[in-house]
Amino acid sequence: MRSEMKETTMQRTTLLTLAVFATAIAASWGGDSAGFRPEAIVALERAAIDRWCAGDPQGYLETYAPDVTYFDPSLERRIDGLGAMKELLTPIAGKIKIDRYEMIGPKVQRQGDVAVLTYNLVNYARLPDGTEKVTSRWNVTEMYRRTGGKWKIAHSHFSFTKPGRKQAGPE
């Protein structure tokens, strides 16, 4: 009888230890994973794109962290900081018009207070005859960071999907 009680106590202790260990691992990998919704990150991005398509870069500017970094294929160097992003984007306010876009395959990968959103973006323009034409295709990576309970873009990287490649040849 005493042997059975000792074995049951050891089993309970082992189960309790495993539960505590599993909880610690889950916390280190996801933080408040029960309250995290990947679709919330996608919704933040869509809201910024919707405004961008209407010529309003402020949607992105409001979503950027103060120390945001940004890569774009039209730029020679990385942009550092919200101030520099404002200098880049403010002059083009009202000059962008994208009739429709597709966000293809959005995927959010989270580690604690960092979430990486990747997707393909296809932009369309409506032609006078009512048909649509693809104007650009992008690979997009957005690294969101949670600070003070809010998700902000800490790094943004846009690149062309299947960019034209230079053919190697005699020089």
Task: Please give the average per-residue pLDDT across 26-31, as a whole number.
Answer: 42
119-129 burial code (b ≥16 CB/10 A, e <16):
bebebbeeeee
Percent of the chain with pLDDT over 70: 75
Helix (H) or strand (E) holding 137: strand 132-147
Digit-coded pLDDT (tens) for 120-154: 999 999 999 999 999 999 999 999 999 999 999 99
Task: Please give the average per-residue pLDDT across 50-72, as a whole number.
Answer: 97
- Better-scored residue on pLDDT, 40 or 17: 40
pLDDT given for residue 26 in this prediction:
40
